[in-house]
Amino acid sequence: CICNDGWSGSQCDHCDGRILLEEDTGWLSDGLGNYATKSKCSWLIDPKNSTLPLRFFFHEFTSECGWDYLYIYDGDSAHSPLLATLNGIIYSPDQSGGYRPEIIATSGKAFLHFYSDVAYTMSGFNMSYSVNRCTYDCFNHGVCNGKYLFFYSQCICDNGWHGTSCQTQTCPNNCMKMETLGKDCSITLPNSKGFWSVSNFNPISISPRASYAAALIGNLLWVYGGMEFGSSRNQDLLVFNISSQIWKPVSNAGSNLYPQSRYGHTMIAHNNSLYIFGGKLTQNENSVDHLWEFNILTSSWTKINYSTDFSQVTNGTSGLELSGHSANLVHFNNDTEIMVVMFGYHPLISYSPFVYEYNFITKTWIRPQTSSAGLIQLYGHTTVQDESTNVIYIHGGAKNVGNSLEISSSTYSYNPQTRCFTQLKNSKQPRFLHSAGLVNGVMYIYGGNTHNDTNESGALCYSPSFMAYSIACNRYGFSNNIDLHSLIFFNKTYIIVFCSFFCIFGTQKLNAGKQTAVCAIQILASPYSTKMYKTVLKVHFLQYNFNVCFHNLFHNPFNKCKYLLHYYSHIINLFSFFSWSHLNSTPDSINPSRYGHFGIVVKSISQSISDNIFIFSGYDGMMINDVLIYQPGNCIAVQDKNRCLGKLRYKLHRHEGNNHHLSVLTKFKSIKLFIVQCKAIQYQTELSCYWNTTHCIARINNSSTCLGDNLVQTPNCSRAVKCADFKNCIQCITDPECMWSKTCIEYNSNETSEPCETSCADLKSCSNCLKDSSCMWCQSQYKCINTNSYVVQYPYGQCLEWTNKNQCPVYKCSDLKTCGECQDNPNCGWCDDGSYTGLGVCMDGGGSGPLLFNNSTAQYEVSSEMCPSGWFFTSCPLCQCNGHSSCDSNNLCINCTANTIGDQCQNCKPGFYGDPRNGNNCTKCSCGTKAVSCNSQTGACNCETKGETGRSCEVCDTSNGYTGNAAGNGTCFYTLLINYQFTFNLKMDADDTHVTKINFKNTPNMEEDVQVTFVSTQMCDLHFAVSSVTTKNLPGGEESILYVENTTDYSFTFSGDRLKIGDPGQNTTVRVYVSGFKTPTLIKISLLQRSNRLLKILLILFSSFLVVLLLAAVTWKLKMMYDVRQLQANRAVEMAEMAARPFAAIQLCSDGCEIGSMIHNPEAVCEENCSNSKVSVVSVFLWLPTGLPSEEKLKNDANLETPPYYVAPPPGQCGLAIGTALI
């Protein structure tokens, strides 16, 4: 798709850029479906034929609360008065009713800008506009006439209706009663039911605001400061006369000394003076520690110079630079009065956990040591003070948990006398920037921001809820489903939404609010309700569809449901006088939903009238120009005990028809309250009233009448805040008893506290800010803030654009180089120089022309002389060649010059760098042999050798293992390990796109050959070389061994002997240069050095074994020779001895002896006595056996035919032997 101007996306379904709308009526939207992330869209609505006011009507608006904003300006630029910063779920298309904001641009022009961040997206917005239409179409109670004051459209109301939009019935029910109150004169005094009233004021004279401060002196309500849209006044002190309900600005009695405009501050009244403390300046968003006094008698301002008993935080920053804090005036019994300031947000401390006390007499601040159940740190909380006890009650607020924001629903009490915090009942309804007021012992909490995440959880940016807390009973009452803000104008009657009832089946009680269907929802919705329940409207609310009640859920027939108890959405009969079923209990404001408002209690002078709660202005995407006044009911008006105890029920009738169960009420007015005795339900006493024998009275602080186990236990005030409770370093060192050592610990004089890391607020540039992952940069405010504080730092959309990525987009108009970039910034417009080449200047401007800031008026004014040639705000010149070419008839650049390329000559040629946009030049890259190209923006060389970095590739990337000297003609090497394979995956990413070379080296320790094995997925050139002591004088300090071209697989061996590898004196290093490849590629390389050490060891072992074996053989041989010699010597001795003995000769005759004969008693031939003469050695002759003749001999020798046979001994053997025996 080729998208039209103002649209982008694959299907042109997302808004983009800037659009001019010149029709009297039209529509605008972010596109189909959810809007895109990082959207920046702008619309200038400037009808050609009209200067009458523009009216905007929303058909849908849902965006991420607190992050994605639609800015609407009353004029033709972002420097025009701001009307709205819409965000959150304001109106959803699935609602048939509810609040639809209508915005009037009185200038007849409007500039809209939509910005979304990179996170969560929603369905966005769809809106229409028209010229000179009345707001809300006069609610069909009048006609719109545009011929009135200043050509503004004005409603001419029908009889019986009045108001700027004919929204109020003049005299409903023919009200003619005297001494009554209410729009229909139906409220008598005293009255048991609370009621609202609304006071609107003229926004032309008095600017609505939010996060202001208010104080009451007598009958005058004083209001100071606050965030205002479209206002630059510095004197913003107002006074509201409660009796006349008239607003009036307060002058400064001719003095030029007055505080700067601020918001998020506090103000208290003391001795005819107003004391304004802290806050953020609206001019620059800086937090201040100023304390100003305004004397109401002399109408003069004084800036108080005070002292403190505690040290500064750091760098001279005061710990009192707070915003979103609270302040209360405390009067002690000794007539001492102090101002107690609690919590708030500090730019360095973050969410402050400290309590400060200011003494009006000594003008001194102290920071007392408080005790509590833990560290409390809040922003945007509320405090109310019980004057009878001086106890301060705190509810809600925003806090940080880790690196995220969390909204609190906790309730605390603080005793200024004991300086002790006590945790009370949790409301389970988190909120911040709400209001609170204390009346008759009940704290009323109204509105606020309840959105706690970045998804569609149902929590609202601008909550309509109203709840109450009984101090005596420590109990909450809720009206979370009662849409105080969902007033409707339907059938000339205000209807309110209710949900969650009881159905009674005999004695069985069933809570339908906890079932899968809603039990008997009484129709209580409207065309303007923020929530439309699935029920059927028929015949002006005369019939109510109850088929969802118990349909297929219970076996009990429907007719057993005897009574429908109005349960007040978990209030448990919150107040019998606070009856949400009555029409006068809801404010007559078109949209009471808001946050950033303030609630103050105005004391009543009559016993029959309760104290009033005044709520002024606030924020709901726009600043609201009304005052809501709520008067709680008075217990003394309740004359019935049962009503005092809150036993109120509606009677339910059953009607069959069309398969529906209907509750038929003849008229809405005829709904009656029934007091039914029901044994099955035992109600607890309601929160504010109790029956005192004869009459109904307010409980206030009488806890003895409370039922249940919610009573406050006696607090333990012995535990002080400990150092370990502090969340960050600056909080820690702010306390003199603590020190920082990775965590906060007790101070130890023997240890040194670690310095704190630089906080986000101290980082003054975008680049430094984004180096810290916990920080984010607001581009429109030029401030660095903590990510967990964005919503509380800019609760009204003051930050038009932010970033937390490692890039800092240019935001200042004069720094933007092209028309497209210029118009991405809502503050800027483009001034063409008239050369028709695209040259121009980006400057502050709007649809009428360039704007110049006037310091005297503090406003931007049109200055046409700044751009006499051609002003472009919603479109760009057709020829956009950045001054480097002219265009042809099709507005295409003809021939880019000055070393530029691109369809708009917006880039430098390869080998050149710079930003040639808007006439700038390109500079030749200075990379020498290191690279053939450089970064086209910065000029940093695109290093061709892997591991070389730096602007000129003069540094080796040691962090990734590359070493060497890359300066000059040097290079970097990756050191390989012997006998390991290395794999290098070079991709086409930012690091490796331009790499064509990589070098390796190794210095072997062994005197052996080195084998190189190389494998690559692409053709490469290889160069093998060595460096050593002997090659240091050669070119490059190395000796080239071999060049190999165009190979993907190669092996080479460096000769260890020739190159003296491993010789300590030579320090030989082998080098492998790989070049000529392109990414992506995969390279595998290994160095192998096969050692003979094992073989040598084996040979040595074998040789040693042979030597040992030889030695053993020689030794054995020598031993044998020795034994023989020894034997011979012994034999010689024996023979000598034998020869020395006596001897004689005998003759032996052996003839005639027969073989086989035996001499049984042989005679000794010789006998020799031993030395003891007991034994003798005798010698006898023995005839040795000769054996039998062979068979052949017997056949051949006739003499052997018959026995005895005689066979001679074999030749060489003797047939006789001498035997010896010992006898």
| Max CA separation in the chain (angstroms) | 189
DSSP annotation of 141 reads S
What is the rounded CA–CA span in Å between residue 500 and residue 515?
Answer: 10
Which of 354-368, 587-601, 1047-1061, 1197-1211 shows the lowest mean pLDDT across its residues?
A: 1197-1211
**3.30.360.10, 2.170.130.30, 2.60.120.290, 1.20.1530.20: CATH of 7-133:** 2.60.120.290
780-792: average pLDDT: 92
If you ran DSSP here, which 8-state letter would residue 1198 be given? G
- pLDDT band of residue 1154 (cuts 50, 70, 90) is low
pLDDT of the residue at 493: 24
Would you identify the CATH topology of the domain 976-1088?
Answer: Jelly Rolls (2.60.120)
Cα–Cα dist 732/746, whole Å: 10
CA distance 21 to 43: 7
Q: In the prediction, which pLDDT does 176 show?
A: 57
CB 1097 within 8 A of CB 1105: no
Q: Please tell me the predicted confidence (pLDDT) of residue 488.
A: 22
Q: Which of 220, 197, 352, 390 is nearest to 297 (CA)?
A: 220
**Residue 1010 buriedness (CB in 10 A; 0-12 / 13-18 / 19+):** buried
pLDDT above 60 for 1063 = yes
**What b/e string do you get for 208-217 counting C-beta neighbours within 10 Å, with b at 16 or more?**
bbbbbbbbbe
- Using alpha carbons, select from 657, 452, 648, 488 the residue that is nearest to residue 568: 648
DSSP letter for each residue of 30-69: SBSSSPPTT-EEEEEE--TT--SPEEEEEEEEE--TTTSE
Pairwise CA distance, residues 819 & 716, whole Å: 66
Give phi and psi for 137, each to the nearest 5.
55, 35
Report how far residue 379's alpha carbon sits from residue 176's, in angstroms, rounded to the nearest whole number: 48
Residue 1040 predicted with pLDDT over 60:
yes
**Interval 583-595 mean pLDDT:** 60
User: What was the pLDDT predicted at 294?
Assistant: 94
Bigger pLDDT: 645 vs 482? 645
Please state, in angstroms and rounded to a whole number, the distance separating the CA atoms of residues 274 and 296: 7
How far is the CA of 804 from the CAs of 115, 375, 628, 769, 1051, in angstroms? Answer: 16, 29, 40, 8, 50
Q: How far apart are CA 635 and CA 698, in angstroms?
A: 6
φ/ψ of 734, rounded to 5, equals: -65, -30
Torsion of CA 74, 80, 81, 87, to 10 degrees: 70
**What local confidence, expressed as pLDDT, does residue 314 receive?**
77
Mean pLDDT over 1017-1041 rounds to: 91
Which range among 466-470, 873-877, 936-940 has the greatest average pLDDT? 873-877
Tell me the CA distances in angstroms from 30 to 17, 534, 820, one per residue in order.
11, 29, 19
Among 73-87, 92-106, 651-665, 697-711, the least confident range: 651-665
- Asked whether the bond before 81 is cis by omega within 30 degrees of 0, the reply is no
Instruction: Quote the pLDDT of residue 748.
Output: 85
Q: What is the per-residue pLDDT for 686?
A: 38
- Token digits of residue 413: 């009490």
Residue 1075 has pLDDT above 90, yes or no: yes
Point out the least confidently predicted range of 182-196, 743-757, 764-778, 943-957. 182-196
> What span, in angstroms and rounded, lies between the C-alpha atoms of 947 and 971?
9
pLDDT value of position 1180: 86
**Measured distance CA(1177)–CA(1181) in Å, rounded:** 14
> DSSP E strands: which ranges in 540-625?
543-545, 561-565, 598-602, 612-616
Correct CATH for 760-803 of 3.30.70, 3.30.1680, 2.60.120, 1.10.3470: 3.30.1680
pLDDT band at residue 149 under the 50/70/90 scheme? very low
Residue 855 has pLDDT above 70, yes or no: yes
By mean pLDDT, which of 79-88, 464-473, 795-804, 1152-1161 is the weakest? 1152-1161
Domain regions of the chain by residue span: 7-133, 210-368, 760-803, 813-924, 976-1088, 1092-1119, 1164-1223
**Parallel, antiparallel, or unpaired: how do β-strands 364-366 and 307-308 relate?**
parallel
Average confidence (pLDDT) over 728-756: 86
At residue 99 the predicted structure's pLDDT band, cuts being 50, 70 and 90, is: low
As a whole number, mean pLDDT of residues 252-260 equals: 80
Does 724 or 419 have the greater pLDDT score?
Answer: 419
Instruction: Yes or no: say if 409 and 425 are a contact pair by the CB < 8 Å rule.
Output: no
| 760-803 and 7-133 share a CATH fold | no
Residue 178 pLDDT greater than 90, yes or no: no
User: Are 78 and 826 spatial neighbours (Cβ–Cβ below 8 Å)?
Assistant: yes
CB-based contacts of 758, cutoff 8 Å, min separation 6: 772
Distance CA 376, CA 1222 (A): 122
Please choose, from the candidates 390, 357, 393, 397, the residue with its C-alpha nearest in 3D space to the C-alpha of residue 376: 397
Identify the CATH assignment for 210-368 out of 3.30.1540.20, 3.40.50.10490, 1.20.1440.230, 2.120.10.80.
2.120.10.80
* pLDDT of the residue at 1014: 96
User: To the nearest whole percent, how much of the chain has pLDDT over 90?
Assistant: 42
For residue 1154, give Cα distances in angstroms to 403, 1164, 1165: 131, 20, 20
Place 1135 in a pLDDT band, splitting at 50, 70 and 90: confident
Can you give the pLDDT at residue 1157?
A: 57
Tokens 């349960």 belong to residue: 567
Asked whether residue 518 carries a pLDDT value surpassing 50, the answer given is no
With a cut of 50, say whether residue 499 has pLDDT above it.
no
Per-residue model confidence (pLDDT) at position 272: 92
Average predicted confidence (pLDDT) for the chain: 79
For residues 55 and 528, the model is more confident at 55
The candidate with the shortest Cα–Cα distance to 635, out of 466, 771, 470, 845, is 470
